[in-house]
Amino acid sequence: MCGIVGVIGSGAAAPLLLEALQRLAYRGYDSAGIATLVEGVIQRRRAEGKLANLAAALAASPLPGSVGIGHTRWATHGAPTEANAHPHGTERVVLVHNGIIENHAELRAELEAEGQVFETETDTETVAQLVDLHLRQGMTPIAAASASLRRLQGAYALAMIFAGHPDLIIAAQHGAPLAVGFGTAEMYVGSDALALAPFTRRIAYLRDGDWTVVTREGALFFDAAGEAVVREVKLTALSGAAIGKGEFRHFMEKELHEHPAVIGDTLHQMIDPGTRQAVLPKLPFDLAALPRAVVSACGSAFYAGLVGRYWLESIARLPTEADVASEFRYRAPPLAPGGLGLLVSQSGETADTLAALRYMKAAQQHIAAVVNVPESSMARDADAVFETVAGPEIGVASTKAFTAQLCVLACFTLALARARGTLDRQQEQALTTALLEVPGRAAEILDTHESIQRLAARIAEARDVLYLGRGACYPIALEGALKLKEISYIHAEGYAAGEMKHGPIALIDKSVPVIAIAPSGPLFEKTASNLQEAAARGGQIIVLSDSVGAAKLKGIASETIVLPGVDPFVAPILYAIPVQLLAYHVAVLKGTDVDQPRNLAKSVTVE
Which lies closer to ligand HGA via its Cβ, residue 75 or residue 460?
Answer: 75
Hey, which residues between 474 and 493 contact ligand HGA (CB under 6 A)? none
Give every CB contact of residue 493 below 8 A, 6+ residues apart in sequence.
464, 465, 466, 467, 481, 504
Query: What is the length of the chain?
Result: 607
Catalytic annotation, pick one of 2, 298, 411, 473: 2
CB of 606 to ligand HGA, least distance (A): 5
Does the protein bind ligand HGA through residue 76 (CB under 6 A)? yes
- By DSSP bridging, strand 340-345 and strand 293-297 are parallel
Which lies closer to ligand HGA via its Cβ, residue 73 or residue 134?
Answer: 73
Closest CA to 151 of 108, 115, 191: 108
CB of 602 to ligand HGA, least distance (A): 10
CB of 73 to ligand HGA, least distance (A): 5
Known catalytic residue at 2: yes
Choices 69-77, 267-275, 442-450, 463-471 (CB under 6 A): range interacting with ligand HGA: 69-77
Instruction: Indicate which single residue of 25, 68, 74, 439 sits in contact with ligand HGA (rule: CB under 6 A).
Output: 74
Which lies closer to ligand HGA via its Cβ, residue 123 or residue 192?
Answer: 123
Which lies closer to ligand HGA via its Cβ, residue 72 or residue 403?
Answer: 72
Q: Is 584 helix (H, G, I), strand (E, B) or coil?
A: helix
Peptide bond into 87 cis (omega under 30): yes
Instruction: Indicate which single residue of 73, 92, 231, 259 sits in contact with ligand HGA (rule: CB under 6 A).
Output: 73
Which lies closer to ligand HGA via its Cβ, residue 30 or residue 479?
Answer: 30
Specify whether the CB–CB gap between 343 and 370 falls below 8 A.
yes
Q: Give the dihedral of Cα atoms 8, 11, 12, 17; nearest 10 deg.
A: -50
Hey, which residues between 77 and 116 contact ligand HGA (CB under 6 A)? 77-78, 97-100
With CB under 6 A as the rule, give the number of residues binding ligand HGA.
17
CB of 135 to ligand HGA, least distance (A): 22
Instruction: Indicate which single residue of 1, 435, 476, 481 sits in contact with ligand HGA (rule: CB under 6 A).
Output: 1
Instruction: Indicate which single residue of 90, 116, 122, 212 sits in contact with ligand HGA (rule: CB under 6 A).
Output: 122
Specify whether the CB–CB gap between 27 and 74 falls below 8 A.
yes
Choices 120-128, 390-398, 551-559, 587-595 (CB under 6 A): range interacting with ligand HGA: 120-128
Known catalytic residue at 602: yes
Q: How far apart are CA 428 and CA 414, in angstroms?
A: 7
Q: How far apart are CA 65 and CA 168, in angstroms?
A: 13
Q: How far apart are CA 147 and CA 141, in angstroms?
A: 10
The DSSP 8-state label assigned to residue 175 in this structure reads: B
CB of 125 to ligand HGA, least distance (A): 9
Give every CB contact of residue 159 below 8 A, 6+ residues apart in sequence.
4, 5, 6, 69, 95, 96, 169, 170, 171, 178, 189
Does the protein bind ligand HGA through residue 135 (CB under 6 A)? no
Helix (H) or strand (E) holding 444: helix 438-447
CB of 49 to ligand HGA, least distance (A): 15
Specify whether the CB–CB gap between 32 and 47 falls below 8 A.
yes
Binding positions for ligand HGA, rule: CB under 6 A: 1-2, 73-78, 97-100, 122-124, 605-606
Q: Which residues are catalytically annotated?
A: 2, 602
